[in-house]
Amino acid sequence: MPLNIGQVVRERYQILALLGQGGMGAVYRAFDPWEQRPCAVKEMCPAPDVAPDKLAGLRDQFRREAGILATLRHPGLTRVTDYFIEGANEYLVMDFVQGKSLEDIFKETEHTPLPEPQVMAWARELLDTLAYIHSCGVIHRDIKPANIRVTVEGHVVLVDFGLVKLWDPRNPATLMALRGAGTPQFAPPEQMDSSFGHTDARSDVYSLGATLYTLLTGYAPPLVNERMFRDVRVPPLRSYVHSISPHVEKAILKALALKPAQRFQSALEMRAALDRRSSRANLTPPLWAWVLLGAVVLVLLCLLVAMGVLVMLAR
């Protein structure tokens, strides 16, 4: 049974609003009076017609998700604070992120391309977060605008690890029970078709690349099945928005390569590519520095002339 507004679960968490709902459960905004703070309650409430074997896998996945997220600590992630079973359902309690998802922001702007400096600032934070979870052996597998929330301070937080995978580089086939294959517009080919290989850190790189492409152009990249079977190419970002920096376009298109070996091999490698131009720009002095240098040179020349005049007069 879905939770009702005003209902209290575990004699503690008061349900305030429904944030989102799917076939396997829902996420609610709640309030924790013990700690006097808002929180999010994620409910595992599968449909009654789910096959028993699949239901067991989903429950196992939910428990594993709770266990994994409880070990992660990073500013770009939500903190899991509780897990419990009540009745026939299971629940996760997480920090509630005040703010909006990138999908909400995108809808508010009517899918108008967002400014590159802002998107790149978010990209750098997200890549730092991905580098952290990948170092912990965790792959998100469902990065998209709806799963990225912007806080009131303007920072981004990665949420909803419903398709999380424990990743062992020595055995990349180690999978958990999955709830789905991800969102088609943002999922890499290996997540849709195992003949392309197993999902790993490069799969999250692809999904983030698709997300950045969408935010910067106003259009999602072509679906992977169209690219694989109909040879549909990804349009250059600057065919939509001419002002996009060439190095940003190049980095995002590389992240969207169909073959994982042709993408960035890590989140940190992608971040370095996005930072490369700004690093070079920092080596070039700004205009005020040139003006100051010119003024110093002019003063030195005047002093030299004055010294020469004094020497001549002294003779």
pLDDT digits (tens, 9 = 90+) for 115-132: 999 999 999 999 999 999
**What's phi and psi for 196, nearest 5 deg?**
-85, -5
Q: Are strands 80-86 and 99-101 parallel, antiparallel or unpaired?
A: unpaired
**Quick one: pLDDT at residue 244?**
97
When pLDDT is averaged across residues 205-229 and rounded to a whole number, the result is 95
Equal fold, 8-95 vs 99-280: no
Q: Flag whether pLDDT at 288 surpasses 50.
A: yes
Q: Tokens for 164? A: 């999380």
Q: Tokens for 130? A: 């991905």
Compute the distance between CA of residue 153 and CA of residue 294 in angstroms, rounded to an integer: 41
Contact 197/190 with Cβ under 8 angstroms?
yes
**Quick one: pLDDT at residue 25?**
78
pLDDT band at 289 (very low <50, low <70, confident <90, very high): low
The residues that bridge with 8 in the sheet, in sequence order, are 14
When pLDDT is averaged across residues 153-174 and rounded to a whole number, the result is 69
- In CATH, the architecture of 8-95 is 2-Layer Sandwich (3.30)
Compute the distance between CA of residue 284 and CA of residue 279 in angstroms, rounded to an integer: 9
**Quick one: pLDDT at residue 279?**
44
C-alpha distances in Å from residue 101, one per residue of 20, 43, 157, 178, 237: 12, 20, 9, 23, 23
When pLDDT is averaged across residues 223-241 and rounded to a whole number, the result is 93
In eight-state DSSP terms, residue 35 is: T
Among the options 49, 53, 60, 142, which is catalytic?
142
- Which superfamily does CATH assign the domain made up of 99-280 to? Transferase(Phosphotransferase) domain 1 (1.10.510.10)
pLDDT band at 194 (very low <50, low <70, confident <90, very high): confident
2-9: list long-range contacts, CB under 8 Å, 24+ apart: 2/26, 2/43, 2/45, 3/28, 3/41, 3/43, 9/41, 9/86, 9/91
The pLDDT mean for the chain works out to: 85
- The structure's pTM equals 0.79
The domain locations on the chain are 8-95, 99-280
Give the Cβ contact number of residue 223 at 10 Å.
17
Contact 205/263 with Cβ under 8 angstroms?
yes
Residue 53 known to be catalytic: no
When pLDDT is averaged across residues 262-288 and rounded to a whole number, the result is 75
Report which residue type is found at 283: L
pLDDT more than 90, % of the chain: 50
